[in-house]
Amino acid sequence: MKVKNYRDVKAEPIAGETGVAFRWLFEELEEIADCGLCLFEIEPGASTMPHARYQEQQIFVLAGAGTVSGEGSESPLGVGDVVCVSPTEQYRFVNRGQEMLRLLVVIQMPRITTLAGTV
């Protein structure tokens, strides 16, 4: 078992996305083989760039207000909302509120098969 406080994990800015940072709370290198847990922090007025992943993601809104858009639709987001993004679906988040938009993201990590086995 591992326990940590998110404030003890350094917030890393995302290149090319002013006002957006993330904290890897747990990742595949830390005894959790199947998923990563990440906290995204988006400042008021900032947004992520449209992007897609090869794995499904689940997102929980911890704080703030904003929108998520993708594939021709846009939905408002607030505290307690959840989002599930399908593999290869393009999406982006925008902070439309007055406080930090905090998103808790569960990311499935890809398995890598080598001659020694699956890692």
Domain ranges, ordered by start, for the chain: 25-109
**pLDDT at site 71:** 83
**68 - beta bridge partners?**
75, 93
pLDDT per residue of the chain (119 residues) written in tens, 0 to 9: 778 899 999 999 998 899 999 998 876 555 555 677 899 999 999 999 998 888 888 999 999 999 999 888 999 999 999 999 988 899 999 999 999 999 999 887 665 555 655 55
- 25-109 classified as CATH 3.30.70.20: no
In angstroms, the CA 102 to CA 119 distance is 31
In angstroms, the CA 13 to CA 88 distance is 23
**37 - beta bridge partners?**
26, 106
